[in-house]
Amino acid sequence: MATYISLVQFTDKGIHAAKETTRRVADWAAKVQSKEVTIKQMYWTLGHYDQVGVFEAPNDETAVSVLSRVPRWRKFSPTFPDRSEAERSYERAGLFLLEQL
């Protein structure tokens, strides 16, 4: 499984419904479980981003697929150009490729 980090900014609607955020994360985790996606950790943050999520997915296509469906719920937006970002991450053991350069 590949690990991904998602940086999330709440929409205005999501800010007004902040009390529901833990339930929304649980709902999202249940929805993406059928695609073999596992939420490993979710952090609520202060600053430019409102959440940092760490999740595992079988491949990049699946990760993009589950993130692209989130805006339909209109509470938070991990969409691409200006609301948030998602990056694939690597643990130290996965960086052996750099040693090969």
Q: pLDDT digits over 23-82, tens only?
A: 888 888 898 999 999 999 999 888 888 888 899 999 988 988 888 766 554 445 444 333
User: Domain ranges in the chain?
Assistant: 2-99
For residue 7, the SS3 value is strand
- What is the predicted pLDDT for the residue at 18? 79
**55: amino acid identity, one letter:** F
Tell me phi and psi for residue 6, to 5 degrees.
-115, 130
Is CATH 3.30.70.1060 what the domain over 2-99 is classified as, yes or no? yes
Whether residue 99 is predicted with pLDDT greater than 90 in this model: the reply is no
Inter-helix orientation angle 60-69/21-32, to 10°:
140
